[in-house]
Amino acid sequence: MTRYPLPLYIILLLLFPVLLRARVKLPAFIGDNMVLQQQSQAKLWGWSKANSTVNIETSWDHKRYKATSDTKGSWTVKVSTPIAGGPYNITFNDGETLTLSNVMIGEVWFCSGQSNMGMPLAGNSSPILNGNEIILNADNNNLRLFSAGLAATLSPQTDCKGQWNVSTSETARNFSAIAYQYGDMLQKKLHVPVGLIVSSSGGTMIESWMSKTSLAGFPQVTIPTNIDTVKRPNKLPTTLFNGMIVPFIGFNIKGFIWYQGESNRHEPQLYGKLFPAMVADWRKRWQMGDLPFYYVQIAPFGSKDKTRSGPLLREAQLKAMSLIPNSGMASALDVGMEKDIHYMDKTTPAHRLGYWALGNTYGIKGIGYRAPMLKNMTVKGNEVLLSFDNAPYLTSFRKPLTLFEVAGSDKKFYPAQATIKGNQVTVKSDQVSAPVAVRYAFKEFVVAELYNNDGIPASSFRTDNWDEVR
């Protein structure tokens, strides 16, 4: 039998019902297994056929919503979320049905920064302390994980790579050790689903995570106009903001956690201005008020930099708490490693971030989360008396205090003897008869000695503001 090809008009007639359908497309982070922020007007968005209607139904209340796409096919809708629970489904229909399943309602946190934020539980050449044990116990249907793929660009993006996963030993293995342990603590204490979005990139400066608008007031920062031939564009200003922050803007979250600063340690004064500017810009764009912003202070590292850039960067981060409303800093002064900037103990800083969230954001009583903070300094003869806030009692865990230094008007610092009584420290040196300044742990690599009774270490600090820090 001779076969003849079907006429084109018959093919088009057969395909016509398919051509009429245009299945809804959603961003990667709006998908199966996701967590939506509880008791909020959660924003959902996506793309469909231009000037079309998208019908949305949420299974927790069987409420129906309608969204109309614009001329480019973009649409948005806000859905009312209940108190924490799940799993639920969300159905989208623009002529063809798309259903998201295993959706939970709970608490969502956005986690960003450089390599110490991104470092997975599996570790690499720098292992994670107790990583395998944490992975072993990672099965938790109420903990959901999303890792954004690397994307560095000069143009703002609308989507990213990645997918939501239920926490299991397999999925947690390559997930951020800091973020995982933070979220795990919250989930087990709050008894609600927790969703973690990690958007991080190693070796990056804060300028990469900032918008062009937020950098406008910093003429010393040069924004590139072309990155086509750049090997590591993620190291350039605005590129990660465009590729790894912009896609998420508007997605309802409870707050941010941040771990970055190592790559900016050579410009601590500039960082002290960039950091608050970045936070203000992110909050403004999310349009959810002063969302909680908790961050880890960089850990001590055995740099040979004689300018003491490490303690100066830590100082800038310490001061940022007074510049950034609703923020909190987790000290890592006792976990750093002299030979590895990617120290092993990610549990301690993750839990200190968790203390901030549980105590300050969720209002759980009894949890200590604030570090000792220098309140005032009084000079009596050759002794200096330092008083501290957030420390009913100070302790060195019965170890000698060796990290205090004092200086006279000659600005030359000498090692000092220090003793604790209550919430005060008395400091003196036989080589300084008339002290005018005190420094504590103000070196590149140190291991914290001064704690409050909650076991939280004081940051390195100084009472002077001298430009000469050597």
What are the tens digits of pLDDT across the range 386-414?
999 999 999 999 999 999 999 999 999 99
Show the tokens assigned to 153.
């660009």
Whether the per-residue pLDDT at 353 is higher than 90: the answer is yes
Whether the per-residue pLDDT at 3 is higher than 60: the answer is no
pTM score of the predicted model: 0.94
Helical residues (DSSP H) of 102-150, grouped into ranges: 115-118, 131-136
Question: How far is 451 from 397, CA to CA, in rounded Å?
Answer: 8
**DSSP H or E stretch at residue 82:** none
Other C-beta atoms closer than 10 Å to the C-beta of 364 total 14
- Return the residue matching tokens 């504590």: 440
pLDDT tens track for 47-83: 999 999 999 999 999 999 999 999 999 999 999 999 9
pLDDT at 6: 52
For residues 114 and 204, the answer to whether their CB atoms sit within 8 Å is: yes
For the chain, helix (H) and strand (E) counts, in that order, are: 9, 23
pLDDT tens track for 331-344: 999 999 999 999 99
pLDDT at 470: 57
Question: How far is 377 from 13, CA to CA, in rounded Å?
Answer: 86
Q: For the residues 139-143, what does the mean pLDDT come to?
A: 99
Whether the per-residue pLDDT at 113 is higher than 70: the answer is yes
pLDDT at 90: 99
| 105-361 placed in CATH 3.40.50.1110 | yes
Whether the per-residue pLDDT at 138 is higher than 90: the answer is yes
pLDDT at 272: 99
291-330: b (≥16 Cβ within 10 Å) or e? bbbbbbbbbbbebeeeebbbbbbbbbbbebbeebeebbbb
Show the tokens assigned to 423.
């919430």
pLDDT tens track for 180-199: 999 999 999 999 999 999 99
Among positive and negative, which fits the CA dihedral 258, 264, 265, 271?
negative
Helical residues (DSSP H) of 265-401, grouped into ranges: 268-286, 309-323, 347-356
For residues 121 and 161, the answer to whether their CB atoms sit within 8 Å is: no
Q: For the residues 143-155, what does the mean pLDDT come to?
A: 98
The residue ranking higher by pLDDT, 418 or 306, is 418
Does residue 87 have a cis peptide bond before it, meaning omega lies within 30 degrees of 0? yes
3-class SS letters over 314-332: HHHHHHHHHHCCCEEEECC
For residues 45 and 74, the answer to whether their CB atoms sit within 8 Å is: yes
pLDDT at 303: 72
Question: How far is 206 from 146, CA to CA, in rounded Å?
Answer: 22
Q: For the residues 233-250, what does the mean pLDDT come to?
A: 98
Other C-beta atoms closer than 10 Å to the C-beta of 405 total 22
Amino acid at 252: N
DSSP 434: S
DSSP 64: E
